[in-house]
Structure 1
């Protein structure tokens, strides 16, 4: 008990040292004077929280070898599961017609992160390759559509497959330098790749617009009918074709339904891939590369396929992001985006597609709801990740892998 008290006290003091300079000091001005005022409520509150968590940790953590689990999720048959998925998809389709514009817009952003999470889940969750530069493929897809529109006048549906192919090509090229790297070394190289892409977008001013980016990117059309109030070339718009008055809510709903379709396609393709031989090869590579090689599998081709397919889905997500925003610039593709996408995969459970969807919803919607804590967002985000790594490192909804136990 005394040892636990000492450890908790040390942890609380270290938390105070970290919180004080970052969140516990306020810069105030009185006339010509500037001075720092400590926020003792923030500092002491954080220290007490860490102290209480550390004191309660031995009481909460009661995991004994051979102990029965405290709870277990109910199991369902495939037929019941398919019915539940169908009900959820139908609800997602009709939901935007009964809610406000802000909610639909946030849901569209959630779907973009779901698509990115499912793409990174191939690389990190299935193949076990730590990628910290996934935002580079995201930026490649966004700028591919933006550049094709800016320089060639292509529309969204024409540029979408090219955005996926160009991002897949970048993923394939990135795969070669990292074939012999693992763990931290792999993470550092991929992190550098993401920063190289961002710096190239900034420095190639004459081609990419530099820090200003590219604006005026059009929204996707509906079978050739533009979703705008008035078309530039005089062609009939979607609302004129339908005989409706223009409403910006319809455009937001259309983008949401498009994002939902792209997510469903991504989910279906990735679900099929992990049941195919390539998916089994990814799992073998993740568990043990040496054993994978001894089985006659080629780790080089397996790694390249993981990087290529993951980058392709990131490219699709990037192209849709450019269409939704109407503007792309390098500041939208910083390292924090890669960290957020990786956190979605880790928080949901590496290899778990349902977990990725749940984590994307939590990490996107909760900050929008709790806007009054916006300045403490990263602190809360880091605290949640630390708590998850301590008490549930397998994620919120870990994937269930088949296993066989031999009787001794």
Structure 2
């Protein structure tokens, strides 16, 4: 009886061992480690504030508190639910499938009934008008200075980035042009205008000024794409910022413009003047937002809007089909800039004083984050995303130190980009992946 000869190479067994996935390298344990690290990070974020005398004071105070064990416990619970909850999720899906199907039917019915959408929009508008009456003055101040202004800026930037696909990092420069237009045409800059205008009349003038500025910027630069265009727009912001800061004879330099008048109405027997009450400015912003949304909705479904989407999806293919891409990109740049100019006029008239430090580059980054968070190309998504993120620092004021509020905003954006990169309410064209 012949012996069985093992013809496997001697190195086969060690190689097989090397190919094995170690226990600590398995995905489930790596996920556990990530969640535990997230728990430690959350403990540090919500723990003791730092001290200039002791660099490790915050870490020692946070990692020795009971909050650490609570955060780690939450991380372990989340891991257990994620790893062992598949049968539970399947059962829940079986139970909720009829409800989901009914919801889909209801959504389809609502989509076919313009009246339903109109009633919903009017209900939301009524809430925006009457709910601020029940809020405090400080809360309404936040609604005006942050939520309303940033929604206007996000609507304009959505035209540039969401529809035309142009990366603009200097969008707040047009916001500054709008603010200084209000100061100039009301006679509060060293250079006097040929005649003075009411702030209401300054709005269309500032929009036209920003439109021209957008054309002047976009004309020689919109043949660039991607990172190159972003760098150019970034440089444009710095040019506007430094001109406003250093031109003492034109913009009053770093001292800024004082005494910009509030909005007022003088039509025959009707005399009304906006004062320091933020409610008046909130209703004015709501009216402007509604008007701009109506215009942008018409524009979105027009030939121009469809052309922008074609350029965004594939500029080379659009140009090959005879589309004048530079012309349409220039149009998007100018229209988005004009919306930012209207926001600048409202802001300058409301606060009564502006200087170059009111328009830092950080605001351009924030507006871009709001557009991406809500859903690029989606008007409802931009409205909700900008409103939520602009309101978030105020919502955290009682539980988070002022210096740490933007850290939570950054963490929220990171989580959003990981699990829902298309945004809260993405545009239908982006969801379907085409340009229908």
Give the TM-score normalised by structure 2: 0.76
2:170 alignment counterpart: 133
Shift of 1:199: 1.4
Q: Which of 71, 85, 89 is 2:121 aligned to?
A: 85
C-alpha distance in 1, partners of 2:343/2:124? 22
C-alpha distance in 2, partners of 1:12/1:174? 49
Q: What does 1:354-365 correspond to in 2, within 5 Å?
A: 354-365=380-391
2:57 alignment counterpart: 38
Question: Does the Cα contact within 8 Å between 1:217 and 1:326 map onto a contact in 2?
Answer: yes
Q: Which of 231, 235, 242 is 1:199 aligned to?
A: 242
Shift of 1:354: 0.7
1:376 alignment counterpart: 404
Q: What does 1:201-220 correspond to in 2, within 5 Å?
A: 201-220=244-263
C-alpha distance in 1, partners of 2:353/2:283? 20
Question: Does the Cα contact within 8 Å between 2:35 and 2:76 map onto a contact in 1?
Answer: no
C-alpha distance in 2, partners of 1:266/1:258? 12
C-alpha distance in 1, partners of 2:117/2:217? 38
2:5 alignment counterpart: none
Q: What does 1:397-408 correspond to in 2, within 5 Å?
A: 397-401=425-429
C-alpha distance in 1, partners of 2:134/2:34? 52
1:238 alignment counterpart: 272
C-alpha distance in 1, partners of 2:275/2:412? 37
**What number of residue pairs does the alignment pair up?**
378
2:419 alignment counterpart: 391
C-alpha distance in 2, partners of 1:404/1:386? 23
Q: Give 1 or 2 for the bigger CA radius of gyration.
A: 2
1:273 partnered with 2:299: yes
Q: Which of 102, 127, 132 is 2:138 aligned to?
A: 102
Question: Does the Cα contact within 8 Å between 2:39 and 2:72 map onto a contact in 1?
Answer: no
Q: Between 100-109 and 319-328, report the one with greater CA deviation.
A: 100-109
Q: Between 82-91 and 293-302, report the one with greater CA deviation.
A: 82-91
1:262 alignment counterpart: 288
Structure-2 change in CA distance of 1:393 and 1:60 (3 Å): farther
C-alpha distance in 2, partners of 1:377/1:317? 24
2:325 alignment counterpart: 299
- State the Cα deviation string for residues 115-161 of structure 1 (Å, max 9, x = none): 11110000010111111111011111111111222123432023211
- State the Cα deviation string for residues 218-252 of structure 1 (Å, max 9, x = none): 11102359xxxxxxxxx99638xxxxxxx967x43
CA RMSD of aligned residues (A): 3.6
C-alpha distance in 2, partners of 1:98/1:49? 40
Q: What does 1:52-63 correspond to in 2, within 5 Å?
A: none
1:27 partnered with 2:51: yes
In the alignment, structure 1 segments of 5+ residues that lack a partner are: 29-33, 226-234, 240-246
1:286 alignment counterpart: 312
Question: Does the Cα contact within 8 Å between 1:8 and 1:54 map onto a contact in 2?
Answer: no
1:146 partnered with 2:189: no
C-alpha distance in 2, partners of 1:404/1:89? 31
Question: Does the Cα contact within 8 Å between 2:166 and 2:226 map onto a contact in 1?
Answer: yes
Q: What does 1:344-363 correspond to in 2, within 5 Å?
A: 344-363=370-389
Secondary structure (helix, strand or coil) at the match of 1:130 reads coil
2:216 alignment counterpart: 173
1:2 alignment counterpart: 24
2:14 alignment counterpart: none
Structure-2 change in CA distance of 1:179 and 1:56 (3 Å): farther
Question: Does the Cα contact within 8 Å between 2:370 and 2:389 map onto a contact in 1?
Answer: yes
Shift of 1:295: 1.6
C-alpha distance in 1, partners of 2:319/2:63? 52
Q: Between 98-107 and 376-385, report the one with greater CA deviation.
A: 98-107
1:230 alignment counterpart: none
Shift of 1:108: 2.1
Structure-2 change in CA distance of 1:49 and 1:277 (3 Å): farther
Question: Does the Cα contact within 8 Å between 2:373 and 2:423 map onto a contact in 1?
Answer: yes
Question: Does the Cα contact within 8 Å between 2:392 and 2:409 map onto a contact in 1?
Answer: no
C-alpha distance in 2, partners of 1:362/1:382? 14
